[in-house]
Structure 1
Amino acid sequence: MDLDCFKNILVVIGGEPHDSTLTRGVALAIANGASLTLMDVIPPVHQSFFSASPQHSIEELQAEHREARRQELLRLVADYVSTGIAAEVVVRVGNPAFEIVQQVLRGGHDLVIKTANTRTGLKHLLGSITRALLRTSPCPVWAIKPGSEPRYRKILAAIDPLADDPEHMGLNEQIIRLASSLAHSESAELHLVSVWSLPMERTLRSRLGAEACDLLIRQAEARVRKTLDRWHASHVPREIVATVHLPRGRASEQIAEVAARIDADLIVMGTICRTGLAGMLVGNTAEQLLDSVTCGVLALKPHGFVSPIRLTDDNHDSPRSE
């Protein structure tokens, strides 16, 4: 998977600052000769909040609001007419994550680009909508930090080199190839991170002693490094020099620490809903990583991933919102 594989891009323009998101989406669409769709999801008008006058029904007011938002998006598109790009505009009503996935399924999009929600602060950069998309979107999700620079300087790819099942191995390959392609196009530094640990270290240390346990730790690190070097040699182009990081400890803490230490602009990682991120993170560990990062995230899905959300009637919006 290279950066130029994205040919049908969906850019979500919500209430967050969207300049970086739109600029990134337009630039990628131009570079790839891709189609571009701008989308927003607006909340439904509820009778309990708003009593319609005899002249205007709730449905009419909702339709007016929807059309007004559509015109706003069309004006955003007009700013890029000189680039020669033709973009479509979609405005739906209801649950944002649900409607975005519906559009991905309906439009056959291969990438969602969205501004990371910052209402909960940098410690919780990825808001609830983005989190839901990471779990349910059938295509990659690119959550962009508001106000980020037009070009990335440092890209961090998180993989599990010791994974030996086809699903995780395929995902590792996607992560490295896409991160390498993006680093090449942005003239950015590429960093690879793999977090490892010695299973049952505390028990082994008490049973075998410190010296023997330390030897096992060195052997485990050497095995991870050797395997990661093979991934590097086989999937990172020779013209790209990648810096390798092999921290030991809890995956969520160590990936976030490496990202902060190198001042990464973007983390490229995998999401597997059953087992977490890139096969390394399980359960709450994934949530802890997402709570800790302060940079953008490009999250990939394994081949064959099927969204739990199914395509519904095209003529109806989702019945609820969050």
Structure 2
Amino acid sequence: MSIYSKILVVADINRDDQPALARATQLAAQSKSRSHILFFLSIYDFSYDMTSMLSSDERDAMRRGVIQQREQWMRKIAEPYLNDDFDLDVKVVWHNRPYEAIIHEVYEGQHDILVKGTRKHDMLESVLFTPTDWHLLRKCPTPVLLVKNAQWPHGASIIASVHVGSEMPAHQDLNDKMVEQLLCLSQRLDAMPYLVNAYPITPTNITVELPEFDPTTYTEAVRGHHLTAMKALRQKHGLAQENTIVQQGLPEDIIPQAAKGLNAGMCIIGTTGRTGLSAVFIGNTAEHVIDKIDCDILALKPQGYISPLDPNNTK
């Protein structure tokens, strides 16, 4: 079964070119089965709801008129991306919270992936994420692909930021999921796959508190553990050693460096799945990595993640 056959694409109302739609059609065209793309937009204008001179029916008629205009605009800008390899529909809804409307549509349409464009920050040459982006990264149950540029880089690679040092089943399952997505997407986008892992630097305070502590031996032991775990992961999925990178340092430093050095068009990251109040966080490491990467980001949730916006979630 091929992944991503039902794709939800969020339209960017501020531009005629649509990087997210370009990437989605690229994925759909390379799918082994026929894919379906829903080009989606959530709109809202406070003034339409506050016009006291109009009746509720008149306000509804005005909203329907705005929705129809946007649907026509979306069909027009979608025309350059259409071909016979996939089906495409357009949908516009009236909602004052875009991320809630988007996630509601994810559930209602049972979509496999959400694709949305991001803004590029001209000064820092990095991706600038909007509040809606962060809400989607934290709360969307499906994989979220945030797209920077419509054009896929020539000779690009795709990297997966795996956490091989952990022996927790949840982390290991997420690593497997990330590698599976990496291999599938690399084939569909004609890119070279890489696994990247950062292992921690020896804390300096340990050598002060424990004079008999040997930092060199400790560092080599940690490195050896991560190399062994990376070898097991790559062999499990049939990847060569030259397609793996294990380096000492913070993930928020190592991952962006690797992405730049390998000409990455996409970085796959795992986000921590939490419920309740902690669901507002996706994990400090992931947030810091995302802020520094200048390419597409594919964020995956762990197995069993339950969104706080899940209509079946009664908590």
Normalising by the smaller structure, the TM-score range is 0.7 to 0.9
Matched, 1:69 2:70: yes
User: Unaligned 5+ residue runs, structure 2?
Assistant: 276-280
Q: Say whether the 8 Å CA contact 2:199–2:223 is kept in structure 1.
A: yes
The equivalent of 2:232 in structure 1 is 230
Distance 2:305 2:155 in 1: 28
Residue pair 2:138, 2:282 contacting (<8 A) in 1 also: no
Sort the Cα spacing of 1:257 and 1:84 in 2 relative to 1 into closer, same or farther, 3 A: closer
Cα deviation digits, residues 165-212 of structure 1 (max 9, x gap): 22211110011111122223333222211111156x223322455982
After superposition, residues 1-322 of structure 1 pair within 5 angstroms as 4-17=2-15, 18-32=17-31, 33-46=34-47, 57-79=58-80, 82-83=83-84, 85-94=86-95, 95-118=97-120, 122-149=125-152, 153-198=156-201, 201-208=203-210, 212-237=214-239, 242-274=242-274, 283-311=283-311
Question: Which segments of structure 1 move beyond 6 Å, counting only runs of 4 or more?
Answer: 48-54
When the two structures are aligned, how many residues end up with a matched partner?
301
By relative contact order (CA 8 Å, sep 6+), the higher-ranking structure is 1
SS of match in other structure, 2:254: helix
1: CA distance, partners of 2:49 / 2:89: 33
2-side partners of 1:230 and 1:140: how far apart?
25
Q: In the alignment, residue 159 of structure 2 is paired with which amino acid?
A: L
C-alpha distance in structure 1 between counterparts of 2:151 and 2:244, whole Å: 24
Secondary structure, in 3 states, of the residue corresponding to 1:229?
A: helix
Residue ranges of structure 1 left out of the alignment (5+ in a row): 276-280, 313-322
Q: CA RMSD in A?
A: 3.0
With over 3 angstroms needed to count, the CA separation of the structure-2 counterparts of 1:210 and 1:143, relative to structure 1, is farther
SS of 1:118's partner is strand
Q: Which moved more, 1:40-49 or 1:27-36?
A: 40-49
Contact 1:16 1:117 in 2 (8 A): no
Paired AA for residue 188 in structure 2: S
Residues 26 and 124 of structure 1: CA distance in aligned 2, closer, same or farther (over 3 Å): closer
Given the two structures, how large is their TM-score scaled by the length of structure 2? 0.83
Distance 1:310 1:185, change over 3 A: closer
Cα deviation, 1:240-290, whole Å, max 9, x if unaligned, reads x65322222222222223223333211011111449xxxxx9854433222
2:199/2:247 contact within 8 Å kept:
yes
Q: In 2, are the aligned partners of 1:177 and 1:236 still within 8 Å (CA)?
A: no
